[in-house]
Every structure is written in structure tokens, then in C-alpha cells.
Amino acid sequence: MEGMTTDPEAHGLSIYASLEELVICRNLNPRTRAKTVAEVTIAIADGDLLHSPIPDGMTHHDWWTAPYDLIPVARIVKEGGTP
Amino acid sequence: MMRYESLELLGSPFKIVDTYVYDEGPQTFAMRSVGIPDLYYFVNTVDEDDDSLTALSVAVSGDRYRAVRSGLVEFRDAFTRAGAQALTFITWSWSSGSAEPMISMQIVSGMDVSDDWLPVVGVRLDLRTDTLPAYDEAELVSLSQAQNRTVFALEVGASGRLTSELPLRAAGELQGFLNGGVEALARSAARRAKKTAKASIRPVKGSTQSRVVAEFTPLSLGTRAASYVFVMAIDSGGALEATEVSAAAFEDLNGLVRAVNSENSASLLAAMRRQPARVRSNFSHLLTALTGIDSGLTVAASIANSNSIIRSSATASQVRYASDAIKSAKPKLKLVEIRRGVLTGHILASRTFVLTDLASGITYRGHMEDEAALQANGLPVGDSSFVSGRVRVEIPFAADEDESGRTCMLETLASSDS
């Protein structure tokens, strides 16, 4: 997907500002429930953020990381498979 | 991306109406049948490997869809308590060399679905959902035209309510105070109209009310969403509606709501002062009832034969501000000197009294100040206990001026000769 700069789906990461909202959305779906939840702190230099609320997630954002393959420092707050 | 819209389930083709979880495509979503009204599906992808994807779908009615969507019903229950033949496993399998997947479907029972493939217990969607027919303001004009009478609506929204519902007490209060307010506004408008166009008002024999007002009765026509809308009409008892009265009454009501919207306590109180005490009282109670459910309001009316709508709105915070301003407005004080009255009763322990002014026939009930209590001590009570005294009457800004709205304090009391 490298180079598809005009396609937001190519780079956007879904993130939530609220852990509570994220956990509700995650627990609706068995596949997403298996995923681990991590907390990241985003600085201005880390890319572009767009507030993109969805029906069940008013704190949902899309994050276009800079560089596109940024691997941010994260802290695991919920292991995969735990409700 | 999967083409869920063309899945060969009952009601195909479909339109996705809600996406709850999205990860490179909808993973948890609702879709509606294009061809069969009131048929919805909740779909949840449950398993995936390199060659296949499995989803669980459940067919639900529109009512069930809205109950799950609003959070009244747990999301898991949509699947585990599915109707007969309503739950289907759908699997897309890709074989090497083929771009198009092979799709297989299997109807299952909720009991047969592994716990790993269900939403977590207790998780609910949490979305505002209309569970009543949608409110369309144009309906007011259409109804008004068809029924040849004024049709009006009060729109409110109780905070924290995700479906079209309202606590019964609040619903009763709102309708009651709106009814009282509209009737009082009509009376006031009829009095004004009588002064300017006597011909249009026909007095009722034996009554000081005009016939127009006697036959001016708000009716409930139904409720709509969202958030909660009362639709009402004016019943003029078979007579032609006096539209000059209804137009003036609703213009006055809109004026009051606009004054609430102004967030200016001085102009609000000035607008209230222009109305009779009964209007002030009902409007104030209406605002208090709205404050109780943390709601704003919109009032819209289509006056008979007008083909148009008058409308005004105020937000919940404006309603709260106005309600507080009215409650803190200076009350009306009146000192009543009673030269000759009858002390019907008093209780020293609770410092309460009942005293009738023989000159006006008005009975005052309330509390005694220290001096009056001392003077009352030892005085007889009853039909022949003649007294004089002074009563301080306090009428809150938005209270009825009758006995129910006022408070009385007996300042002085003395026996007088019979």
C-alpha cells in the first residue's frame, strides 16, 4: 500500500481517545475482541489526526502516521481475548 | 471488500444502515432489506484465516433492530435469542486461482453457536434510536389543512433517553401545563379581540367567558420521534375555529418561548408580565417540568387555514436559565388591613391561622408572626370570634393569584367587639 497517499485507507489507523468506548466496540465482535489494546501518546510530529466519530464511538479518530511505517511506543492496557 | 449487499439471504438485496465495527471493511454492522419492509440483519464477522472468512447473521424485525440498536437489548441476545431460522453462518472460501469466493450458508440455532463467536455478555449498542414514527413538521400543515383546525406540536428531548420515550410524570405535566397555558392564552387573546372586534365574539349566556374560549379545547393527536413530540389540535366543538384567537394565542406562546431563547432575564420577565397570572403560572410550570428532564423545547403551530407554521425553540440550558430567573423574580407583596374579620381557627404550636375578611369575603390561611401569635394566645375561635388584623400576602411572580399560589403571614391580630 506504500505510495497510495491519496487513499486514506492505505495509511489510516483507527484509534479511540476513550478506552471505555474502544472496549465496547471491541467486545461487539469476536475477532476484534481477540486483539490487544495498547495506549499510545501521539505528538504533533507523529502525523495527522482526524476526529472521525462513528455510531458507537464518538472519540474515534483516524491517524495517518508519519512516517507511514512508524511503530510508536505503546503500553499494553488489555490483553487480547480479555473482555 | 465483501459484497454483503448482494448476499442470498431472504430479502436480498440489502443496504448497510449502520456500521459498528470497521476494520478494512465493515466487521459488525446492520443492513436492511431493500425489497421487504421492516426486515433487518445484524451481521458479525466471527472467524478468519488465510482461505476463508466466517460471519454470523441474524434476521430481525424493525422493532427488534431498534431495541438492540438503542441498547434496550444486549447485542449478544440479538444472536442467542434469535427467532426460528433467523440465524445463519455465512462462509466465504477462496480456492487458489479463483478471484471470486465460494459462499456457503448454514442455518443454526442460537444454542449451537460457540461462545467464542458471540459478542461479550453485557455489551450493548448505545445509539439514539427513534422508536416512534418520525416527526415531520410539514405534517402539521397537512393535518391543519385536512382537518380545518389549528394543529400544533411540542417537541422535547429527555437527556439520557436513547429511544423515543419520556417519563410518564413528565409527559403528563408537560401536556397539562401546555393545555392550561394555551387555554389561558386563548382567553387573554379573546378578551383583546372582544375589545377590537366585538362581532366575532359571541358571549355565552350566564357566563363571562366568550363562546370562542368555551369551545377552545386542546386535543392530543399522538406522539412522534425524535426525541419526543406531542402533536395536538384545537377542538372548537363543531363551530368554526376563531382563528384570530388561536393565531394570537400561539403568537403569544411563541413570544414567550423566544423570550426564553433570548437568555435575557429582564426581557423574559417583561414578556411574562404582559400575560395574565394563569399564563405565567402554566408557562413557569412547563419550564420546570422541562428542567426536570433536562430538555429544551420547540413549539410549532399551523393555524387553521393559514398554510404556514410559526415556530420557536429554546435549548435545555436556556430553559434552565429562564426557570431560575422566574423563580428568583421579585414576588408581589400586598398588605391587607382587616377591620372586621372572623378568626375561624388558629394553632399556636404550628403558628397557623384561618381568618376571613368580612368586608371582602376572602379567607386567608397561613402562618402568624411572633407578635400575632402572642396576640392570638387566649383569643377564642369560631363563627363569633370577631377580630381585626393585618395580613401580608405574598404572590410569587409566576403563581396564580388565587389561594393556591399565594402565601399569607398574619402580622397583627386584635379582638374587636361584636
Question: B120, A56: Cβ pair inside 8 Å?
Answer: no
Q: How many domains does chain B have?
A: 3
The reply to whether B164 and B246 lie within a common domain is yes
Measured on CA atoms in the order B336, B341, B344, B346, is the torsion positive or negative? positive
In the block, cell 441474524 appears at: B58
- Burial label for B18, CB within 10 Å (0-12, 13-18, 19+), is buried
Q: Give the domain extent around B345.
A: 332-415
Q: φ, ψ for residue A13 (rounded to 5)?
A: -105, 140
The reply to whether B218 and B313 lie within a common domain is yes
Kindly report, residue by residue over A7-66, the tens digit of the pLDDT.
655 668 889 999 999 999 999 999 999 899 999 999 999 999 999 888 778 899 989 888
What global pTM score does this model have?
A: 0.68
The reply to whether B318 and B187 lie within a common domain is yes
Out of B21, B24, B47, name the one closest to residue A28 (CB): B21
Q: What is the pLDDT of residue B29?
A: 95
What CATH number corresponds to the domain at position B404?
2.40.50
The reply to whether B78 and B92 lie within a common domain is yes
Reduced to 3 states (helix: H, G, I; strand: E, B; else coil), residue B55 is strand
ipTM, interface predicted TM-score of the complex: 0.83
Mark which of B267, B296, B328 sits at the end of a domain: B328
Chain B contacts in chain A segment 42-81 (CB below 8 A): 54-56
Alpha helix positions (H), B168-310: 168-196, 211-214, 243-261, 265-273, 277-292
Question: B21, A29: Cβ pair inside 8 Å?
Answer: yes
The reply to whether B284 and B374 lie within a common domain is no
The reply to whether B64 and B159 lie within a common domain is no
The reply to whether B44 and B111 lie within a common domain is yes
Distance CA(B407)–CA(B403), nearest Å, equals 8
Kindly report, residue by residue over B17-76, the tens digit of the pLDDT.
999 988 878 999 999 999 998 999 999 999 988 889 999 999 999 999 999 998 889 999
The reply to whether B51 and B104 lie within a common domain is yes
